[in-house]
Amino acid sequence: MNKFLNKKALEIKLDDRSKYLRKLIVQALIGGGRGHMGSAMSLVEILRVLYDKFVKFDPKNLKKRNRDRLILSKGHGCLALYSILVDKKFFSKELLNNTSKTGSILGGHPEYSKVPGVEVSTGALGHGMPIAVGMSLAAKIKKEKHKIYVIVGDGEINEGSIWESALAASKHNLSNLKVFVDYNKIQSYGFTKEVVDLEPLIDKWKSFGFDVSEINGHDIKQLTKNLVEFKKNKKNKPSVTICHTIKGKGFYFAENNPYWHHKNSFSDEEIEELNNCLE
């Protein structure tokens, strides 16, 4: 058995920064009264490491030419994206309180025309990656040096368009493209193993011509090392990192629990526990 498929290997204690970013997600969940909780909590560290150390961005100049592009193809994980964008001062923390409510710029899926820092509207699965491939191709034609990062969900890669665009990325040797698979093993209906088993996932990406690596997606050191290697990489091919993660990470009642993929209401007890887990 792959060592990453062993849940124990993923039992990482969250540090204060990871807890803080999760508190922002909880603020949006409670404020909006709903949201894809589990899907957001699994990708916090991926976004944290990207924005803290690798993605070039400027909240005051959103269209800066040499910025890196980050596309959250699994748009339903947007509460994690909103949380890091608040942290990086793209917009104010107070906006989280009205997530998905009338008049809010923050919806249940991110919209590029409304949310500062969101490059592409996603939510319909299988769309972000082909767009990222187009952006990577554009950068290659223009000989621009910025990178394109795209995060896909494990359920999302059921979509044929992901693999169509993987073929294209490989054909064009898009070495400026980094794909992260948030492999939390649970999709909407239940465990990916039971809905559509993705294994052997590494072999699939390898056979599509990608440089493949596999890490614990909650481990800051592993994520950092993986991205340092990507930046140094001279291989003439696109790159994918399979991030083994835990759905609902940080909340004992939600971890690996398909019923916390999405919630459209919270009981008083659940709200209390959401807050308690981060103390």
Instruction: Point out which residues bind other proteins (CB under 8 A).
Output: 112-113, 119-121, 124, 126-127, 129-139, 141-142, 160-161, 164-165, 167-168, 171
| CA-based nearest residue to 187, from 38, 45, 8, 43 | 38
Considering the complex, state which of residue 167 and residue 196 has its C-beta at the smaller distance from other proteins. Answer: 167
By 3-state DSSP, what share of the chain in percent is helix, strand and coil, each rounded to 5? Answer: 45, 10, 45
136 dihedral zone (left: phi>0; alpha: psi -120 to 50; beta): alpha
Phi, psi of 277 (to 5 degrees): -60, -25
Minimum Å distance from CB 63 to other proteins? 10
Considering the complex, state which of residue 208 and residue 266 has its C-beta at the smaller distance from other proteins. Answer: 208
Considering the complex, state which of residue 96 and residue 137 has its C-beta at the smaller distance from other proteins. Answer: 137
Minimum Å distance from CB 71 to other proteins? 9
DSSP-derived secondary structure for 85-145: HHHTTSS-GGGGGGTTSTT-S--SS--TTTSTT--S---STTSHHHHHHHHHHHHHHHT--
Minimum Å distance from CB 125 to other proteins? 10
For residue 56, the Cα-to-chain-centroid distance in whole angstroms is 17
Minimum Å distance from CB 237 to other proteins? 17
Minimum Å distance from CB 141 to other proteins? 6
| CA-based nearest residue to 150, from 226, 47, 247 | 47
Considering the complex, state which of residue 67 and residue 88 has its C-beta at the smaller distance from other proteins. Answer: 67
Return the SS3 of 172.
coil
Minimum Å distance from CB 253 to other proteins? 34
Count of residues for the chain? 279
Minimum Å distance from CB 67 to other proteins? 12
Considering the complex, state which of residue 168 and residue 278 has its C-beta at the smaller distance from other proteins. Answer: 168
Q: Which residue type is seen at 203?
A: D
Q: What strands, in cross-sheet order, belong to the sheet with 177-183?
A: 69-72, 148-153, 177-183, 239-244, 211-216
Return the SS3 of 152.
strand
Considering the complex, state which of residue 58 and residue 272 has its C-beta at the smaller distance from other proteins. Answer: 58
- CB atoms < 10 A from the CB of 180, how many? 29
Considering the complex, state which of residue 103 and residue 160 has its C-beta at the smaller distance from other proteins. Answer: 160
